Structure 1
């Protein structure tokens, strides 16, 4: 799938393929022309992706070929045992989690899971968890605390499921309880936004010692489309809404709302999934090593202080 701003790059790559095919068929030496065109493509890519608008980054975060939570977990771990159910209602397929071995260290992974095709997306409810999903996530995090295992959450959701049945089962309470309990977890907690980070649906598993964002992701109280529909009664102003929301990784880091940005391959995570997974694994191992040196009580105090310092309160 090509996004609008990627069309000029795709056109040049098409010409490159034609040139290489012509050279193979005719036997003409076109190495210099190929090298020049490759250099031009590389330069255009760097210029394009270095100057993306906020809306374009939102589009990249939703690219259907981006790695999802289970792709990262399976790519980073040598062993992964998925755990199911909240022990109250059922097993929410939009929220996944379990123990994984990360270079010999056991880690509890929790995250929202989207699908790679229509059938999977329906099965995973498009990555929108119900209350039982958040309760499952909390159950797994408390289990990790019991066995002194660090927690890594991978966030990628357009929001918690907004259906009537979700509200009847206590969607708001489930998310609020997660926020409270995650502040007090005695084990290291790392939260990574790997795609969309929308509203309380994302925040429900995003309270941690370190909150990181991949380069082409977004994190906000509302999506650009929903913001546009509220302010202008139309989705046509989603680009203006994205600019006003300042929802990119760069914006969040400047505002002090996240602790770091994980670099993506040129063109986005979907262009080189294995490279992206390897980069995130290296970042997690480095961060876990740092957090493991901090006593539990100090980590909890720093976690509370970090989030308490966000925003402004006027009485």
Structure 2
């Protein structure tokens, strides 16, 4: 799938393929032309992806080929064992989690999971967790705390499921309880936004000692489309809404709402999953090494202070 801003690059790449095909089928020397075109493509790619608008980054975060939670889990962790159910209502397929190891260190990994095709998307509810999903996540966090294992969360959701049945089962309470309990977890907690980070649905597993975003992701109280429909009664102003919301990693870092940004390969995380996974793994290992040197009391105190200091206001 091509996004609008990727089309000029794709057109040049198609020309390059045609040129190489001509060279292989005839004696025409096109070596100089090929080199020139390759250089032009590289320059255009760099210029395009280094100057994306906020809305374009939102589009990239939703790319259908973008790696999801389980992609990172299977690339980064060894011996992953998925755990199921909230021991109350059901096993929410939109929220996955379990134990796995990175270089012999065991972690509890939890995250929202979207689907690749229509059938999977229906099963995973498009990555929108019900209350039982957040209660499952909390159960797994408490299990990790019991066995003194660090926690990693991967955030990628368009929001918590807004259906009537979810509200009847206590969606707001489930998320609020997660926020409260995550502040007090005695083990290191590392939160990584790998795609969409929308509203309380994202925040429900995003209270950590370190919260970081991949380069082409977004994190906000509301999606650009929903913001546009509330303010302008139409989705047509989603680009203006994205600009006003200041929802990219750079914006979040400037506002001191996250702790860092993990660079993506040129073109987005979906262009090189192995490279992207290595970068995420590198970040997890170095951050855990840093956090493990602190006592549980120090981590909890710093975690509370970090979130309490967020926001700017005037009296």
Q: 1:245: how far off? A: 0.2
2:123 is the counterpart of 1:123: yes
Which residue of structure 1 aligns with residue 152 of structure 2?
152
1:184-223 matched pairs, under 5 angstroms? 184-223=184-223
Unaligned runs of 5+ in 1: none
Give the corresponding residue for 1:182. Answer: 182
1:240 counterpart residue number:
240
Query: In the alignment, what sits opposite 2:48?
Result: 48
Q: Which residue of 1 aligns with 2:161?
A: 161
Q: Tell me the CA shift for residue 278 of structure 1.
A: 1.3
The structural deviation recorded for 1:313 is 5.8
1:74 aligns with 2:86: no
Aligned pairs (5 A) from 1:77-96: 77-96=77-96
Aligned equivalents of 2:244, 2:313: Cα separation in 1: 21
CA–CA distance in 1 between the matches of 2:65 and 2:34?
28
> What CA deviation, in whole Å up to 9, does each residue of 1:59-106 have, x standing for no partner?
000000000000000000121000000000010000000001111110
Deviations 1:177-225 (A, max 9, x none): 0000000000000000000000000000000000000000000000000
Task: Give 1:28 shift.
Answer: 2.8
Map 1:272-311; keep pairs closer than 5 Å. Answer: 272-311=272-311
- CA distance in structure 2 between the partners assigned to 1:216 and 1:226 by the alignment: 20
Shift of residue 314 of structure 1? 6.5
Counterpart CA distance in 1 for 2:76 and 2:31 is 38
Please report the TM-score for the alignment, with normalisation by the length of structure 2.
Answer: 0.99
Tell me the distance in 1 between the aligned counterparts of 2:136 and 2:118: 25
| CA-to-aligned-CA distance 1:150-196 (integer Å, 9 cap, x gap) | 00000000000000000000000000000000000000000000000
Aligned residues: 315
1:258-287 CA distance string (max 9 Å, x none): 000000000101111111111111111111
Unaligned runs of 5+ in 2: none
Find the aligned partners of 2:199 and 2:144 in 1 and give their Cα distance: 25
Structure 2: how far apart are the matches of 1:154 and 1:236?
A: 30
CA RMSD of aligned residues (A): 0.9
Distance, in Å, in 2 between the alignment partners of 1:63 and 1:136 is 27
**SS class of match (1:11):** helix
1:107 aligns with 2:102: no
Distance 2:268 2:280 in 1: 14
2:140 corresponds to: 140
Q: Secondary structure at the match of 2:178?
A: helix
Cα gap change, 1:256 to 1:81, in 2 (>3 Å):
same
Q: Structure 2: how far apart are the matches of 1:103 and 1:46?
A: 34
CA distance in 1, matches of 2:76, 2:103: 8
Aligned partners of 1:121 and 1:51: how far apart in 2?
31
Report the Cα distance in structure 2 between the residues aligned to 1:25 and 1:314, rounded to whole angstroms: 70
State the SS of the aligned residue for 1:19: helix
TM-score w.r.t. length of structure 1: 0.99
* CA–CA distance in structure 1, aligned partners of residues 149 and 187 of structure 2: 6
Q: Secondary structure at the match of 2:78?
A: coil
Matched, 1:59 2:69: no
Q: Distance in 2 between matches of 1:38 and 1:280?
A: 29
Distance 1:254 1:313 in 2: 16
Deviations 1:96-150 (A, max 9, x none): 0000111111000000000111111001000000000000000000000000000
